[in-house]
Amino acid sequence: MTTAQEFRLDSPGVKDGAALWRIARDSKTLDLNSSYSYLLWCRDFSGTSVVARDEQGEPVGFITAYIRPERPHTLLVWQVAVDAAHRGRGLAATLLDGLVRRVVDVYDVTSVETTITPGNTASERLFTSFAERHGACVEREVLFRAEEFPDGSAHDPEVLYRISPLTTLTTKESL
């Protein structure tokens, strides 16, 4: 059985966009963005995102994230996805730790934000355990109420998780 540590973490490139789109689509839980948006993401936000590669160099998991323009010390995690064949091995946590460790020094990040819909226990566990591992606090508040979504779909509310301060992370630490 392959463990999370056996994957190589890397910045995504445009050539990875299609694979990230497929992983997100196949997750059956993420809001799927257009394939075009994954290509742009891999081009424009490569420095604040991460991909896990298998032995052949193929993406098997990813996190897309960006630095919030109004809060330049905050990394907003947009999507986390792991290929079904590699779930349950701690790869999402490895991706999150690796990404945040990289951006803490480069972008002077002191907090992480993400949104999670109520009942998404896997994401709740991922981010609360991340905060616990790094001695940070978690604040929660509803960011977007269900009725604010304009497309008429039955979208659950999005709860903002703010994790800070990230004082224990440095690039000198090993994964």
Query: Which numeric CATH code is attached to 8-164?
Result: 3.40.630.30
Share of the chain above pLDDT 90, in %: 78
Average pLDDT, the chain: 91
Could you tell me how far CA 115 lies from the centroid of its own chain?
A: 10
Quote the CA–CA distance of 133 and 129 in Å, as a whole number.
6
Longest dimension (CA), the chain: 47
Spans of all domains in the chain = 8-164
**Could you give phi then psi for residue 73, rounded to 5 degrees?**
-105, 15
Q: For residue 152, how many other CB atoms are within 10 A of its CB?
A: 6
**pLDDT per residue as tens digits for the range 124-142:** 999 999 999 999 999 999 9
pLDDT for residue 170? 52
How much is the pTM? Answer: 0.90
Put the strands of the sheet holding 59-68 in their side by side order: 8-10, 50-53, 59-68, 71-82, 111-116, 158-164, 137-144
